[in-house]
Amino acid sequence: MGMREDELKAMIEAAFPGAAVTITDLAGDNDHYAAHVVSESFRGMSRIAQHKAVYAALGGRMGGELHALQLTTAVPS
């Protein structure tokens, strides 16, 4: 099954307008990705809250279409 890299990136960018989003396919199987998301909307949020916000943007696809996501988040410097 899996999810295409461009779909994953588009979902995150839609939830966090203006964010810098970098996606890396870790296994070449459309199922294991790393995402680096830098967004002003994360300012003042704990790292856990930032990650929860990204997972929420994926609309329940974790564990289904998307098996694994190595996630890093940050605010712009």
Predicted TM-score (pTM) of this structure: 0.92
pLDDT at 21: 98
pLDDT, one tens digit per residue, over 25-49 is 998 888 899 999 999 999 999 999 9
* pLDDT confidence of residue 1: 66
- Higher local confidence (pLDDT), 13 or 66: 13
Q: What are the start-end ranges of the H helices in the chain?
A: 5-15, 47-57
46: domain CATH number?
3.30.300.90
Residue spans of beta strands (DSSP E) within the chain: 20-25, 32-38, 68-74
Quick: pLDDT tens for 50-63.
Answer: 999 999 999 988 88
Tally of domains within the chain: 1
Structural domain for 38, as ranges:
5-74
The stretch 3-14 carries a mean pLDDT of: 95
